[in-house]
Chain A
Amino acid sequence: MSILGEFEQLILWAVLRLGDEAYGVSIAREIEERTGRDVSPGSIYTALGRLEDRGLVHSRREGGGAGRAGRPRKFYRLRSAGARSLEESWSHLSAMADGQIDRLRGVGGG
């Protein structure tokens, strides 16, 4: 089972949410709207390239779209191994976090 980094998890969640519409710009927007993090296309493609090498996503290339100066787009979908990895990462996290969020907020006050 592959261990997923935090950024990789964010991307996989975005790919899952976007369904057939997951490509660089839409993934970046999805992450930005939900987390407030501005992510660069370079880091998205680097991470997706690595996830694809590990067999967690697969991609499909399409010709240009609006405002892209004729550049192509690449759409991504989760593969079953990717889905399993993401689910396991989430269950680990949520199991550890279970019931702790209130206490976590209390830590800051000292």
Chain B
Amino acid sequence: MTGPRPPAWARWAVRLGVRGETRDLVEGDLEERFAAEVARGIGPAEARRRYGRRALASVGAVWRGVWDERGRGGAMPGWGEVKRMVRTLGRRPGYTAAVTVTLGLALGAAAAVFSVVDGVLLRPLALPRPHELVTVWMTQDGEPTNLSGPNGLDLRDGVGAFEELVLYSRGSVLLEAGEGPVRQMPAVQLTDGVFATLGLAPAVGRDLSPADLAEGAPPVALLSHGLWTETFGGDPGVVGRSVMVDGRSTEIVGIVPEGVAVPLAPDARVWVPFRNEGAFRARDLIWLGGLARLAPGVDVGVARAEAESVWEGLRDAHPDVILDAGVTVLPLQAYLVDDIRSALWLLLAATGLLLAMACVSVGGLYLARGRARGAELALRASMGAARRRIVAELVGEGLLLTGAAAALGAGVATALVWGMRAFGPADLPRLDGVAVDGRVLGVGAVVALAVGLVTAGIPAVRAVAAAPAARLVHGGRGAVGGRGEGRRRFTTVGVQVALATVLLAGAAVLGRSFLTLVQVDPGYRIDGIVTAELEISPEVYGDAEARRDLYRRIQARVAAEPGVEEAGWALIRPLDDSRINYEVAVDGQPVGAPGEAPSADLQLASGAYYRALEIRLLQGRLFEDRDIGGPPVALVTESLARDLWGDVPAVGRRIGWVVDRADEPRWHEVVGVVADVKQQSLQAETHGTLILDFLQRPQGGATLTVRTSGDPAALTRLLRDEIPRMGPGIPEPDVSTLRAARSADVAPQRFLVLLLGLFSGVAVTLAAVGTYATLAYATARRRVEMGVRLAVGADPARLRSEVVRQGMVPVVAGLALGLVGALGAAGAVRGLLFEVPARDPLSLGLTAALLGAVGLAACLIPAARAARTDPVRSLREG
């Protein structure tokens, strides 16, 4: 065939859009008219245009017709009808806003929490083949603990399932680049092969090599991408240059790539190989993390079994060290998010409940609206409009509202995620990467669509199911909606109250746990305490005398400051989760058998540290200046004293600690007993602690703890400015307050309580509004009856209590159901609680009281209105 041809796209549109016999007929007509118009000399371009227009119009018409047939004479709402719906909704702003806000808040909350769950728990790590990455641990009494250097290396060499294994330890270093000041930097010490383990290549330069770990190897370091860009302007030529790390000239050999959420030390800025120090060679010193990459196709369970068998060999070779310890291999991702996992699932479940409540509430609103329009719908049905069409219209209206709610929800979710990132716990892993992205919005849209169809669909079917003629006659009131419908409405109230009860009970028990936690007496003062963590150059301050002199000068300088009441040194400040644990021996006895010898946490502190923190001295004395250069002295905490000596006074006894079992214990005389404190965390168990005199053994790093009656902010500035001026090789210290430390310590609990509190607040509001609306509606329908009863002399007070009773029945039933649900769901919160039982009677009682009171208040308003019914008016209007 020659001559002009119809547009191909239009032919395809018809082929795809029209089915069966109609397609043949439509195609025939289109072709025939096209040919005729071309023959008439209408011009090929115009003929093609007309063909296209008719083809599209045909597809549209056929599709509307298809909907027609499904709807039996109804029609899919067209654009015009959508505009009409928008106008109708605009005339009822209260209703429209109620539905949109209710659904929008619930959808937004759910989307926000889902995006956190998705980003933190579900999404794989941003590293190649993340499922192959595992952490390796020693276990004691089933609990994972760190590895020692030799054990870690033996596992690396012995377990074939590990393709790579890197050992690491977090810490800090002093860095001097060029003429710049000496700075304290978070750092990580590593074995070689970290990039191979992570599956990455350095951005510039090379990985650490086995030669870097050899004895006497020249010092090398890797820099984080951030440090590289900030300090060296991202200059690739920096590789091969030298910086001072801990006072030693160190060659930069590589740069860590940007944006890598390095699982082993996210904040580390300097990566250095383990220096060949004794600690790394000590088999019984457990202080290292292990990260391994499994060989392709190897299961974690297989790797664990192989590690266990290698471990058996180690146990045979070193029975005195390993004895009852075990080994385990855990997937990295599970390990990273272990602490937060249950909290996040709980939050997701809470938003699920909230969403369910919002659906019930909105379904109730739709139902009421369907009934309010009963007369109109009945009129239209009687005029031939198909019921399905009316249903389609009501559902369409619901979907329109759900669409608006989803848009609002996207905004709410974005704001909530922003808030969570800004105020969430700083150490919640991977929170930085969380965002409301396409994936979250996609899931949200599907959920919103389902919510829209269900919440609008059921009431719509119900609204037209009732006999239309009856509605028309009774003007939407009266005979329709008898007992069965009333029961349904009050069932809705019961369900709302039950869901709100579960949410509120969860929030209450977590809230009580949080309050208990923040009110815990840590055993030391928190207000007015400023801490300055400092690490000094081991080159400049190589011997103990130089360190002691510096620490005493700094202490004297700070103590002379107005407002400063006391300042003292310690190795580990309160609320730092570091622990050093050694086996101890007492009273000249040799150290006990492995696994049976008592052990204690080790702290080094000066006497002034205890005075600054107002930690109670129970027996004896604190360290004093005269101890410097004197015989070794120690303090013990009350629980350690009790464990070691029972009721016998500890002062004057001897205590020793061992690094190596073969050595003689290092003996100290106990000069005092101090109170137990919450050292690692407000939630941590109390560990018996042996305290040595910091000024007898001044270390290369320490924290100055200062109690001030003045402004902590001013003191913070002073510490940052003055301490580096006290001598060479002193960086700006890391200054904070114990208030901030406590706040960070309870941040995960606060985060959970805030969000759950917010959700349960919304839930209680929804339940209250639902109760009120239902009862108000039910009472309004009984106006005539009430009016008549009042007219014939009924007691208004009796009417009032009757209405309250009617409203409170579903509230109380819902409350009971919700309390049962809360008791059943107690397991979900148990692991998140601090010293509060999961089935806490006080929290449950408060929940019941609050919801009962709110429910009662919601019932009192309609009841009061009913009792005030004006008989004459109600009869006239009714």
Contacts and interface: CB of A to CB of B under 8 A. Distances in A.
A28 B650 CA distance: 110
Interface stretch (B31-39, B274-282, B446-454, B482-490): B31-39
Interface residues of A, number: 25
A40 interface: yes
Interface in A1-56: 3, 24-25, 28, 38-46, 49-50
Interface string B16-28: 0010001011111
A25 B26 contact: no
A25 B61 CA distance: 16
Given A42-B57, A42-B58, A67-B35, A49 B28 contact: no
Contacts of B26: 24, 41-42, 45
Interface stretch (B62-70, B534-542, B626-634, B689-697): B62-70
Contacts of A43: 57-58, 61
A71 interface: yes
A45 B22 contact: yes
A3 B18 CA distance: 27
A46 B46 CA distance: 26
Given A41-B30, A67-B32, A73 B61 contact: no
A83 B345 CA distance: 68
Contacts of A64: 28
Interface in B228-266: none
B54 A72 contact: no
B58 A40 contact: yes
Contacts, number: 86
B32 A25 contact: yes
A64 B27 CA distance: 11
Contact of A69 (B28, B36, B61): B28
Nearest to B31: A69
Q: How large is the interface on B (under 10, 10 to 19, 20 to 34, 35 or more residues)?
A: 20 to 34
A67 B62 CA distance: 23
A46 B63 CA distance: 9
A5 to B, nearest CB: 11
Interface in A63-107: 64-69, 71-74
A42 B61 contact: yes
Contacts of A28: 29, 33
A69 B27 contact: yes
Contact of A38 (B29, B30, B36, B54): B54
B324 to A, nearest CB: 82
B63 to A, nearest CB: 9
A69 B29 CA distance: 10
Contacts of A69: 27-28, 31
Interface centre among A39, A42, A64, A71 (most CB of B within 10 A): A42
A3 B25 contact: no
Given A3-B384, A43-B58, A67-B36, A73 B25 contact: yes
A72 B62 contact: no
Q: Chain B interface mostly helix, strand, loop or mixed?
A: helix
B373 interface: no
A41 B31 contact: no
Interface in B44-64: 50, 53-62, 64
A71 B68 contact: no
Contacts of A42: 18, 22, 26, 54, 57-62
Contact of B28 (A38, A40, A71): A71
B28 A73 contact: yes
Nearest to A72: B24
Interface centre among A3, A49, A64 (most CB of B within 10 A): A49
B420 to A, nearest CB: 52
A24 B23 CA distance: 12
B228 to A, nearest CB: 65
Contacts of A65: 28, 32
A3 to B, nearest CB: 6
Given A24-B25, A71-B24, A45 B62 contact: yes
A42 B22 CA distance: 8
A74 B25 contact: yes
Nearest to B17: A42
Given A67-B35, A71-B24, A41 B64 contact: no
Contacts of A46: 22, 61-62, 64-65, 68
Contacts of B58: 40-43
A24 B27 contact: no
Interface centre among A41, A50, A72 (most CB of B within 10 A): A41
B29 A24 contact: yes
Contacts of A68: 28-29, 31-32
Nearest to B50: A38
A71 B25 contact: yes
B31 A71 contact: yes
Interface in B518-550: none
Contacts of A40: 53-58, 60-61
A41 B35 CA distance: 15
Contacts of B54: 38, 40-42
A42 B18 CA distance: 8
A40 B53 CA distance: 8
A41 B50 CA distance: 12
A74 B55 CA distance: 18
Contacts of A38: 50, 53-54
Interface centre among B18, B32, B384 (most CB of A within 10 A): B32
A66 B22 CA distance: 19
Given A42-B26, A71-B29, 5 more contacts: A38-B53, A46-B61, A46-B65, A69-B31, A71-B24
28 contacts: A24-B26, A28-B29, A28-B33, A38-B50, A40-B54, A40-B57, A40-B60, A40-B61, A42-B54, A42-B57, A43-B57, A43-B58, A43-B61, A45-B25, A46-B61, A49-B65, A50-B65, A64-B28, A65-B28, A67-B35, A68-B29, A69-B27, A71-B24, A71-B27, A71-B31, A72-B24, A73-B28, A74-B25
The 9 closest A-B CB pairs, nearest first, are A42-B58, A71-B28, A40-B57, A67-B35, A46-B65, A43-B61, A41-B29, A42-B61, A24-B29
